[in-house]
Amino acid sequence: MNKNNISILFLAFILVLNLLSGCTVKEKPQSNINTPVSSNKTDGVVTNVVDGDTIDVNMDGHVERIRLILVDTPETVHPTKDEQPYGKEASTFTKKTLLKKEVNVELDKQKRDKYDRLLAYIFLDDGTNYNKLLLEKGLAKVAVFPPNVKYIDEFKSAEATAKRDKIGIWSDLQ
């Protein structure tokens, strides 16, 4: 190998080193959604209402998408389902009751669903269980996904009362 080829190889090596040293792996910015929650109960402020049973809550500077446990409201924004009766009412009620309000978030045994949403019971300042309130207002049905069943008996009772009294989604029953 002659002196000229060695110089070219050396320059190519230096060029590659310079290129590599200038390359940095830029980390993806940390999303505020889906940050781990460290305890089973925490306070936060509702920053967004997705629909009747899904909200975003800011807890200590981290926003979590939360799916309410043991309830299912009629759909308004589902990607594959049409808007269902009482869906807008459930969503409007959730916005009116929770948006920009301080809430207490209580987790159960399973912390997240398959969409990585935090699964929680939401409590208002006065201690009202908001998940149960949706059932009492006839704006949701009980939806059981074990192991999260802490309040199942009182939720089923609230649903039965709304059904008996033909409130909300139960009003069209004969």
Q: Which residues are catalytic?
A: 67, 75, 117
* Residue type at 39 in one-letter notation: S
Q: Before 147, cis peptide (omega within 30)?
A: yes
Q: For the chain, what is the HEC assignment?
A: CCHHHHHHHHHHHHHHHHHHHHCCCCCCCCCCCCCCCCCCEEEEEEEEEEECCEEEEEECCEEEEEEECCEECCCCCCCCCCCCCCHHHHHHHHHHHHCCCEEEEECCCCCECCCCCEEEEEECCCCCEHHHHHHHCCCCEECCECCECCCHHHHHHHHHHHHHCCCHHHCCCC
C-alpha distances (whole Å) from 21 to each of 13, 14, 16, 150 are 12, 10, 9, 55
